[in-house]
């Protein structure tokens, strides 16, 4: 990630839970570029919309996207509710394999509901592969009694500020299929 020296002090001190709540409160689709819808699971359990400019692509278990400037990474994977702990470990291990350093002493936990799905977020502070400060989170969204969605995220402080509208739209677009 590029060197981020001009972070807004208020955003730097914003607690993880408050950041998630703020992103969910943003109006959907505000000035964001074209987005592509993705279906998650087979059978489909949820849908999500990711900005085309983020170069989204389908993975073995879901979808991922990264901003062109590498300031934000988002992934959503489908997992069995019986294997939630393993899925969380895999999500964190993937981020670490990409050079993200997670500071376990900064762990924050928040329970909420996103679009009707009970959700547990674990948030951390850390560094990206270039040593810049980053925020990391992994969320578990219960799509149905058998299936969960694992939402993985890391981003720079500047990236969170720059892409706040798009991040809010992504969270609001994550919808379970009835």
Predicted confidence (pLDDT) per residue in 68-109, tens digit: 999 999 999 999 999 898 998 999 999 999 899 999 999 999
- pLDDT score recorded for residue 35: 87
Task: Provide the H-helix boundaries in 98-137.
Answer: none
Q: How do beta strands 101-114 and 117-127 pair?
A: antiparallel
3-state secondary structure (DSSP) of residue 105 = strand
Q: For the purposes of burial, counting CB atoms within 10 Å of the CB of 61, is it exposed (0-12), middle (13-18) or buried (19 or more)?
A: middle
- pLDDT score recorded for residue 33: 56
Asked if 95 and 77 touch (Cβ cutoff 8 Å), the reply is no
Taking Cα atoms as reference points, which of 45, 66, 47, 46 lies closest to residue 55? 66
Per-10-residue mean pLDDT of the chain, 178 residues long, equals: 36 45 45 79 95 95 95 95 90 91 94 94 91 92 95 92 93 91
């Amino acid at each position: 990630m590029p060197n981020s020296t001009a972070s807004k002090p208020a955003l730097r001190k914003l607690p993880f839970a408050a950041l998630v709540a703020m992103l969910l409160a943003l109006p959907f689709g505000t000035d964001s570029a074209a987005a592509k819808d993705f279906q998650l699971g087979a059978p489909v359990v949820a849908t999500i919309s990711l900005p085309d400019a983020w170069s989204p692509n389908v993975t073995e278990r879901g979808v991922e996207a990264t901003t062109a400037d590498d300031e934000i990474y988002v992934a959503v994977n489908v997992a069995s509710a019986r294997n939630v702990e393993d899925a969380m470990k895999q999500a964190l291990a993937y981020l670490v394999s990409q050079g993200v350093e997670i500071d376990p002493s900064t762990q924050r936990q928040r329970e909420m509901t996103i679009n009707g799905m009970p959700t547990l977020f674990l948030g951390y502070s850390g560094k990206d592969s270039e040593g810049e400060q980053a925020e990391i989170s992994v969320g578990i969204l219960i799509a149905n009694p058998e299936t969960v969605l694992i939402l993985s995220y890391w981003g720079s402080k500047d990236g969170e500020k720059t892409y706040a509208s798009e991040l809010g739209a992504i969270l609001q677009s994550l919808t379970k299929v009835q």
